[in-house]
Structure 1
Amino acid sequence: MNYFDQSLSSIHKQLVNKEISAKDLTQQTLDNIKSVDNDINAFITVDDEGALKKAADVDAKGIDADNLLSGMPIAIKDNMVTKGLTTTAASKILENFKPIYDATAVDKLNKLGTITVGKTNMDEFAMGGSTENSAFKITHNPWDTTKVPGGSSGGSAAAVAAGEVIAALGSDTGGSIRQPASFNGVVGMKPTYGRVSRWGLIAFGSSLDQIGPITRNVSDNATIMNAIAGHDEHDLTSSTKEVPDFTSTLNKGVKGMKIGIPTEFMAQGLDDDIKQTVLDTAETFKKLGATVEEVSLPHTKYGVAAYYIISSSEASSNLQRFDGIRYGRRAKDVKDLEDLYVKSRSEGFGDEVKRRIMLGTFSLSAGFYDAYFKKAAQVRTLMINDFTNVFKDYDLILAPTAPTPAYGIGEDVSDPMTMYMNDVLTLPVNLAGLPGMSIPAGFSKGLPVGVQLIGRPYDELTVYQAGSAFEQETNFAKQTPKMGGNN
C-alpha cells in the first residue's frame, strides 16, 4: 500500500469494492513499517498480532460503506492508553505498563473499526520539541534523517510523512502536533481545549493538553476529528458543545474571510524562508478572495515564560503518581519507603522530565507561588484577551508554525533555553485554548515548512475550510520525501 498516493476515501473505496481486505491492508501497513522504520524509528511498539486479529474481525463483520474509517490501520502516540498494549509515554518508569482500558479517543476510533498497528515514539511524557528526549530511541525526519522530526508527537508525524500509515493521533500541549507536522510536511490539528476528551491521555499539563489528528491532507484530518470529538462523561473538562461535521465546509473557499497576521509572530528570530512562506501564503489567500491584514497580539513576548511556569507546575503535580508502588518501574535494593520513591523516580525519569518537575515544584512552593505561578496565570489571561480582541474583527489568524525548518539531531537538545524558545509561535494557542492547524505551505533547503491557521474557540470548521482552500490551490501537500534526504 503506497500511502503517498492515497487518502482515506480512496482506500475506503478499495475496501468497499473488495479490491483489498482489511487484513491485507493491515499486513501491507505492517510491511511498510518493517521496510522503513529501521531508518525512521517512528514506533516504540508495533502490534502485528493484535492488528491482524482486529482486521480479520472487521473483515468478518464486513466493511461499513458509510464509514471512511472502517478497516483503516492507524498509529497512536504512546501517551494514550491502549488496553493490553504497552503504553510507555517514552519513559523508563512505564517501560512495561499494560493498561486495562482504552483512552476515549482511541475507543471512539476502535468502535468505528480502525485498527491500531502500533504506538509511536515521542519526547518523554510529551516534554520536548524534537523526539530526542525519548528513553528508547531518537526518531528521524523522513525528509532528511540527520534532522529531527519535531516533537513531542514526532513519531506520529514521521510515521505519516514516511508513508508508514495513513493517519496517526498525537497530543499537543505547547505545539506538539503542529510543530512536527510543519517539520514533516503533513497536516496537524490541535483542537479547541475541551473539544476532544483527555480521558486516558497520560497528563503533562492538564489545562493545556489536547489530542488531535495528523494526516497527509486536510480532508482526512477533518474526518478523524469527526470521530474523536465530543463530550465524554469521564472528562469533566470536555465540552458539551455540539460537534459539527468538520468536512461540511471543505469546498466553500475563503472568499470574504478576514485573516490577520500577528506582527509579533513575524519578528526577529524568524528564519527568512519561513517569513517568506507566510507572506506567500497570505498572497494565496488574497487571490482566493480573503482579506489579509496585520494585527497585534502584544503579550506574545511573555508567552514562553508563562507557558513553562504553568505547564511545569501542572506536570509536577501530575507526575506525583509515578512513585514505583502502584504501577511502573520499581527500584530494587531499597532501604525504606522514601528510598523507594527517590530511587524509582531517579532511575525512571529522564533529565528533561526532572528539570520540569523541579521548575514546577519551585513555582508552586510557598513564598514563590505569587511571584511565579500566579503571575503566569495573569499573563495567560492577558494573552486570551489579545486573541479575543483580534477575533472581534477577524475570522482567522495566519502565522508561522515554527521559527525554523527542522534542525539537526543533537544540535539543540543540550540547550534547554533554545529548545524552549522554539515553541514561541505555537504555545500561545494552548494558553488561550484555541484551535490551531499546521498545513504544508513551502520548503526551505529541501525541508518542509508549515504555516498555522488559528481559529476562534470551537471554530475548527473555519480552520478546516481555509486549510482546504489553500491545499486545493497549491501542491505542497502532495509532495513526498525521498527517504533520508536529497529532496
Structure 2
Amino acid sequence: MTTTAPHGAATAASAETSAGPSRRTVVGLGAALGVAVASTLRARPAAATTAELDRALRDLPAPARRDRLVDHEVVELAVLLRRGDVTAVQVLDAYLARIDALNGPFEVYGDNGGYNAFVRVDRTGARAAAEAADARFRAARTSGEVVPPLCGIPFGIKDSVGVEGREARNGTLAFAGNVALRDATVVARLREQGAVLLGHTIASAFSGSIAGTFAGNAWDPARVPGGSSQGSGVAPVARLCAAAIGEETGGSIIMPAAANGASAIKPSLGAASVAGVMPLSPGVDVVGPITRSVRDSVLVMNAIAGVDQSGDPLTLSAPMPFPEVPLSPRGGARPLAGLRIGVPQTDWMTAAPIGTPPQSTYGRDHADVWRRLVRQLRVMGATVTEFPGLDVTDPAQDPYFRSPDVLGVSDGTAVTALSAVVQSNRYEIRYWDAVRDFAATRPADQAAALLAQYGRVRPGTTERTWEAASALGGGITNAVRAEGERRRRRLQANYQDALDAADVDVMLVLPIGDHVGPRFGGGSQLPNYRRWFQLPNALGWPMVTFPVGLGRFTRLPVNAALWGPRFSEATIVQAAVDYQDRYPEHHRAAPPDPVFAPAPQARRAAAPEVVPPEYSNDPLVNAEADR
C-alpha cells in the first residue's frame, strides 16, 4: 500500500533517496505498455485502443513504493488504481492536503503568501468524480469493464478554459462572473475519461505574460513561474495535482513548463480543439498537457486530441489517421540512432545582440547542462549538429512573422501580414463584440477594465471604444487577409526548406537560457530566453519541453525543447520519451516544500501584472515591441 505524508512534509532529499521506481521498474513499465499497445494520437482514441491500454495497465506490476503518494506519475497512479492498492479518493485527499498547506488563499491575483497555483478549487465536484472513479474501478474488477487511462487522475485546468457552471476569469477580476455554459471540448474529453477536475489554475492577466507574477515558482516561490499558464506549470511539479492543462498563444505552455522543470507538449495547430477556451489569437491558440513526464503528457494528449468538427474546424486539418505518438521508450543502447537533430544558430537569445550564437549566451548552469545534454543525445545515437535555421530578420526568408510590409489600411491603421491574419480571425469569431456584450452586464469598474484591455483608440482621436476595435478587424479586405495567409504558408515552406537543406529532422533549443528572476522587487524576471519564442506558434509547429538537469550553482531546473514541422509530434515526443527513460532522475526530481508563513494572507492582492511588451503573449504586441 502506498502511503503519503498528509501535508507534504517530505524534503527534496528524502524524495530523491526514497524507494521510488527503480530504473528496471520504469523501463519495464514503458516496455510493457509498448508491447501491449502503440499508443497513438488520432481523431479520437478508438474503443479498442482504450481497451488495450486498460489491459496493459491492469497487467503491469505495482510500481515501487514511494514515500509520498503524490510523487507517483500519472501512469503509475493508473496502475495503482486498477490494482486497488489506492483509491481515487485517497489520491484526491493527498493533493487537497497539499493545496491546503501550500497554495494559500484563492482568488488572489498577486502574491497570496503561498504557491498560488490554484485560483479556485471545486472540492464538491472533485470528490464526486473521485467517488465515481472508485465505483467504476470496483465494478471493473468483477465485470471486466474497460476503464479509461485517466480515470481517477487529479487535474488542474488553466483559468481560461471553460468548465460548466464554473467561472473562468483568465487571470483577472475583470472577468468575474464569466460562468461557462458548457465544458470546453478539452474538459469534456477529460470528463469522458473519468478524470478528477480539482479546479482552475491561475493564469497571467488576460493570458498576457510569459513571465508571470501571480504564482510562485515550484522550486523557489520568490521567482517567476513563467506564463501565461502559470499555475498549470507550477502545480504538477509542486505536487498540487498530477497533471494540468495549459493553453498557449505564444509561449504560454512552454515557458511555465521550462521555468518549473515540467514536461509539456505544445501540439501542432489543429491537433486538439480549443472550443470553449477564452481566445487570444484564434488560428494560433492551442491547448496541451503539462505533467512531470513526457509519457504522462502523451497519455493526456490521447484523451484530448482529435476532430471537433463543430467546435474547432482547424482540427479537420490534422492528418487522418494521426501519426502514431508512442508513450513507450524504444530501449536499447542507441534508441535515437538515425535521428538528425539540428541546433538552429539563428534562434537567438535575448541576453545578447542578434547574431550572437545562442549557446554562447547561456548562464553557467545552463551551459553546463547543455554540453552534457548534447553528449548524452549523441551517445544515445542521435546526430546533433549546428545549422543556420531560418533568419527571420531577413525579409526574403520571413515574409510574415516579423515582416513590416504594409499590405493595406483598415480604419486608418496599417495592416501587416501578421495583423491581417490575427485581426481577421479575431473579427470572424466576434472577439471584441463578445467581450463588449459581457462587459455590458457587469459593474462599471469591470466594464472599464475590459474596455481598457480590448478597446481601441482610432488614429487622430483620444477615446477608446469597442466600435473602433471591431472596425479594425472588420475593415481588412479578403484580398489582404488571403495575402497574409499566403505569406504564413510561405514562411512555413521556407523553414521546412531550411531543415531539408541541412538534413535536419527536428530542432533542439533551450527555451530559457538562464535561471528565472524575482517576481517582485526589481531585477530581470527573464534574464535570457528565446527571442523568437512565438515563432513555433506562428508556424503552427509542435514543441515538447522536458527537464534535463538541475543547476549546480543554483538549484533550479534546466529544460530543453525539441520542435519541428507541423504534425511531427511522433518524432519529437519519441525522442523525449527515450531520453527520459534513460535519464529519469530529471523529471522525477521534487522541489523541497517551501515554508510559508502560517495562514498566509495576500500581500499584493491588488498589484496588477506589469507586462513589458517583449514578454507579451499577444503576437501583435510582441511584434510591435520587436520592431
Q: TM-score, normalised by structure 2?
A: 0.67
Give 1:315 shift: 8.8
C-alpha contact (below 8 Å) 1:81/1:201 kept by paired residues: yes
Match of 1:435 in 2: 542
1:191 equivalent in alignment to 2:267: yes
Distance 2:278 2:91 in 1: 30
Give 1:340's aligned residue: none
Q: Distance in 2 between matches of 1:421 and 1:373?
A: 34
What is the rounded CA distance, in whole Å, between the counterparts of 1:356 and 1:450 in structure 2?
Answer: 41
Whole-Å separation in 1 of the counterparts to 2:151 and 2:80: 12
Shift, 1:448, TM fit: 1.0
Partner in structure 2 of residue 107 of structure 1: 188
- The answer to whether structure 1 residue 222 and structure 2 residue 334 are counterparts is no
Query: Which residue of the partner structure matches residue 382 of structure 2?
Result: 290
Taking a change above 3 Å as real, the CA distance of residues 454 and 480 of structure 1, as seen in their structure-2 partners, is: same
The whole-number CA distance in structure 2 between the counterparts of 1:122 and 1:377 is 30
For each residue in 1:192-214, what CA deviation from the matched residue of structure 2 results, as whole angstroms up to 9, or x when unmatched?
Answer: 10000111111101121110000
Question: 2 CA distance for matches of 1:257 and 1:77?
Answer: 34
CA shift digits 1:231-266 (9 cap, x unpaired): 111211113422355335532521111010001125
Match of 1:251 among 330, 336, 340: 330
Give the residue type in structure 1 aligned to 2:135.
A
Q: Does the CA contact (< 8 Å) of 2:189 and 2:303 recur in 1?
A: yes
Match of 1:339 in 2: none
1:398 maps to which residue? Answer: 508
Cα deviation digits, residues 144-185 of structure 1 (max 9, x gap):
111010000111010111001110000111111111111001
Instruction: Check conservation: 1:396, 1:463, Cα contact below 8 A.
Output: yes
**Residue 153 of structure 1, aligned match among 229, 233, 236:** 229
Among residues 271, 282, 286, which one is paired with 1:206 in the alignment? 282
Residue aligned with 1:168, SS:
strand
Unaligned segments of structure 1, at least 5 residues = 133-137, 333-342
Q: Is the 8 A contact 1:324 1:330 kept in 2?
A: no
Please list the CA deviations of residues 250-295 of structure 1 after superposition, one character each: whole Å capped at 9, or x if unmatched. Answer: 3252111101000112556343333443333222111111111112
Contact 2:424 2:476 in 1 (8 A): no
User: Which residue, out of 23, 33, 46, partners 2:121?
Assistant: 46
Percent identical among aligned pairs is: 24
Equivalent residue, structure 1, for 2:443 = 331
TM-fit CA distance, 1:8: 1.6
TM-fit CA distance, 1:7? 1.3
Q: Is the 8 A contact 1:261 1:397 kept in 2?
A: yes
In the alignment, structure 1 residue 471 sits paired with structure 2 residue 580: yes
| In 2, Cα distance between equivalents of 1:422 and 1:380 | 24
1:33 aligned residue (93, 99, 102): 99
Residue equivalent to 1:387: 495
Question: Is 1:7 paired with 2:82?
Answer: no
Whether the 8 Å CA contact 2:439–2:447 is kept in 1: the answer is no
User: Which AA in structure 2 matches 1:215?
Assistant: T
1:400, 1:452 within 8 Å by CA — same for their partners in 2? yes
Structure-2 residue corresponding to 1:408: 518
Q: Secondary structure of 1:118's partner?
A: strand
Alignment of 1:63-462 (within 5 A): 67-132=148-213, 138-233=214-309, 234-238=311-315, 239-241=317-319, 242-248=321-327, 250-251=329-330, 253-265=335-347, 269=352, 270-273=361-364, 274-301=366-393, 305=402, 313=423, 317=427, 319-323=431-435, 325-326=437-438, 330-332=442-444, 344-348=446-450, 364=472, 380-381=488-489, 383-392=491-500, 393-410=503-520, 422=529, 424-444=531-551, 445-462=554-571
Deviations 1:342-392 (A, max 9, x none): x654234676x679999x95995899999x999986774554234212443
Could you tell me how far apart the structure 1 residues matched to 2:235 and 2:515 are?
A: 18
Counterpart residue number, 2:42: none
1:401 positional shift:
1.0
CA separation in 2, counterparts of 1:97 and 1:421?
Answer: 36
Superimposed CA distance per residue, residues 382-427 of structure 1 (whole angstroms, 9 cap, x where no aligned partner):
54234212443222110111243221103679x9xx9799562431
- Which is further off, 320-329 or 225-234? 320-329
Answer yes or no: is the 8 Å Cα contact 2:439–2:450 preserved in 1: no
Q: Is the 8 A contact 1:3 1:164 kept in 2?
A: no
Unmatched 5+ stretches in structure 2: 5-67, 105-113, 141-145, 353-360, 404-416, 459-463, 596-627
Displacement of 1:59 after TM fit? 2.2
8 Å Cα contact 1:94/1:328 also seen in 2: no
Name 1:335's counterpart in structure 2: none
Match of 2:133 in 1: 58
Change beyond 3 A, Cα 1:225–1:481: same
Distance in 1, matches of 2:122 and 2:572, equals 34
Does the aligned pair in 1 maintain the 2:421–2:481 contact within 8 Å?
A: no
CA distance in 1 between counterparts of 2:228 and 2:383 reads: 34
Q: Is the 8 A contact 1:324 1:331 kept in 2?
A: no
Alpha-carbon spacing, 1:90–1:366, altered in 2? closer, same or farther (3 Å)? closer
CA contact (8 A) 2:424 2:473 kept: no
Q: Structure 1 pair 28/127, CA: closer, same or farther in 2 (3 Å)? A: same
- The one-letter code of the counterpart of 1:254 is L
CA distance in 2 between partners of 1:27 and 1:403 (Å): 37
Report the CA distance between 1:326 and its aligned residue: 4.2
Does the 8 Å contact 1:121/1:131 carry over to 2? Answer: no
C-alpha contact 2:362 2:528 (8 A) present in aligned 1 = no
Letter in 2 for 1:479: A
Work out which of the two has the higher radius of gyration on C-alpha atoms and give 1 or 2: 2
C-alpha distance in structure 2 between counterparts of 1:7 and 1:472, whole Å: 13
Judge conservation of contact 1:190–1:211 (CA < 8 Å) in 2: yes
Is the contact made by 1:78 and 1:121 (CA closer than 8 Å) also made in structure 2? yes
Letter matched to residue 72 of structure 2: Q
Deviates more, 1:14-23 or 1:146-155: 14-23
What do residues 43-89 of structure 1 show as CA deviations (whole Å, max 9, x unaligned)?
11100011111222222233666532111111111111011122111
**Structure 2 CA distance for partners of 1:198 and 1:246, relative to 1, 3 Å:** same
